[in-house]
């Protein structure tokens, strides 16, 4: 990926689709030290990740804080985020319930396609942390009756 994107200038590049995405890609390329930083931070508005990490590999809340939240912070112009399963293997779901409300937030994200750990995570996504969100497509991994009270729900 790096060799291709650094070969020439791509001033109109706004969408990036990464197949075989895994945690190491985020840790190596989605950093301020990356040679691709300016492309990612300034140009990419639509990011599609075909996630190859598996649920068994990591704790969902750690993965959320370390990878998903970092993506929203690092890609400064990101409006559309799609995280897709490569096959029947599930990737680590977004898990927000026990994290601060500032962990996964964006003032400009309009579309989000992602797996969430439980239904309460959907409610957390609608608590105002994604103010411009117009489209939310989620798959809930564990749907059970919630015992939590989610405050600060915004009007839809």
Give the Cβ contact number of residue 90 at 10 Å. Answer: 15
Q: Which residue has the higher pLDDT, 8 or 146?
A: 8
CA distance 27 to 34: 10
Which residue, among 22, 41, 29, has the nearest Cα to 1 in the 3D structure?
A: 29
Gap between the terminal Cα atoms of the chain: 39
Number of H helices and number of E strands within the chain? 6, 5
pLDDT in tens, 10-54: 999 999 999 999 999 999 999 999 999 999 999 999 999 998 887
Looking at residues 68-95, what average pLDDT do you find?
Answer: 88
pLDDT at 13: 96
Which of 54-58, 85-89, 120-124 has maximum average pLDDT?
A: 120-124
The mean of the pLDDT values for the chain is 87
């Amino acid at each position: 990926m790096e060799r291709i994107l650094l070969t020439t200038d791509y001033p109109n590049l706004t969408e990036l689709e990464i197949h075989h995405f895994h945690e190491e890609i985020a840790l190596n390329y989605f950093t301020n030290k990356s040679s691709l930083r300016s492309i990612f931070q300034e140009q990419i508005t639509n990011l599609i990740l075909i996630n190859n990490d598996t649920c068994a590999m990591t704790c969902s809340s750690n993965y959320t804080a370390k990878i998903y939240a970092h993506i929203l912070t690092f890609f400064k112009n990101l409006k559309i985020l799609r995280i897709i399963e490569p096959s029947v293997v599930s990737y680590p779901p977004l898990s927000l319930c026990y994290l601060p409300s500032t962990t996964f937030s964006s003032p400009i994200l309009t579309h989000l396609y992602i797996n969430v750990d439980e239904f309460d995570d959907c409610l957390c996504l609608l608590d105002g942390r994604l103010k411009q969100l117009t489209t939310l497509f989620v798959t809930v991994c564990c749907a059970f009756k919630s015992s939590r009270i989610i405050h600060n729900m915004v009007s839809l």
